[in-house]
């Protein structure tokens, strides 16, 4: 199963580290194992994508965490789910 979502540059929470953002992904569950990549890689969004440290699936959502820096551009992502 494939899903798409956007990590919006202005939707990160946090002030100095451990920035987080939760996006809605209807149909994903907490036990799914998402494989996530950029939907349209460019030089500027590849750099920002490298700031994303982890992704954790929940029921109808994925929470992304950046340990040091947060992305400064919107990131369109594609999500493949392994069940």
pLDDT tens column, 14-53: 988 899 999 999 999 999 999 999 999 998 899 999 999 9
For residue 44, the Cα-to-chain-centroid distance in whole angstroms is: 16
Q: What is the rounded CA–CA span in Å between residue 12 and residue 26?
A: 20
User: pTM score > 0.85 for this model?
Assistant: yes
3-state secondary structure of 59: coil
Residue 73: pLDDT band with limits 50, 70, 90:
very high
């Amino acid at each position: 199963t494939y899903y798409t979502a956007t990590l919006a540059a202005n939707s990160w929470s946090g002030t100095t580290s451990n920035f987080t953002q939760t996006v809605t992904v209807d149909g994903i569950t907490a036990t799914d194992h998402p494989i996530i990549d950029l939907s349209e890689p460019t030089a500027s969004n590849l750099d920002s994508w490298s700031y994303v440290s982890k992704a954790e699936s929940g029921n109808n959502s994925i929470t992304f965490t950046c340990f040091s820096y947060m992305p400064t551009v919107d990131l369109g992502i594609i999500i493949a789910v392994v069940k």
